[in-house]
Structure 1
């Protein structure tokens, strides 16, 4: 099995994969790269727009594949933005509202 290395670039920092992952077939590289990006983006907890890229290298150090995920978010109405800014980010909105009513 060949070893592939998935380096992450979040726009600010580049993280180099020094361990790699063994895959039985090069055709698995795209699904592994995309799966890696989705695992990373699920932990994004702020509203900042960003682009995350994973560059896959083979065991010779050559870049062979890139996948980029762009995350963009925005409030559709300004009243929701104002309400969100008044809500502590550590509590879900419904819990915060219930506690205020008590």
Structure 2
């Protein structure tokens, strides 16, 4: 599911971690993702495949104000928590509004 919030659109299925990086009076909100796994033929035409892992780059959003950083961090945690509950229970909360693209 792609979710857009605070100027960032993310695939919540691939989200691995959300963290804050604080440096003085400013900071970054960092989103990390699970690696992409693909089956790749070892030698062209061999018919032998192996799984390869490709890392996904992190996405960061800069905040001049730590209060704004904390607010966005808490909002994204809430969104991710609701989505995770949906995946586990296959039932969205009544107040969860998925984005439509």
Shared fold (TM-score greater than 0.5)?
A: no
Structure possessing the higher radius of gyration over alpha carbons:
1
Task: Give the TM-score, by structure 2 length.
Answer: 0.30
More helix by share: 1
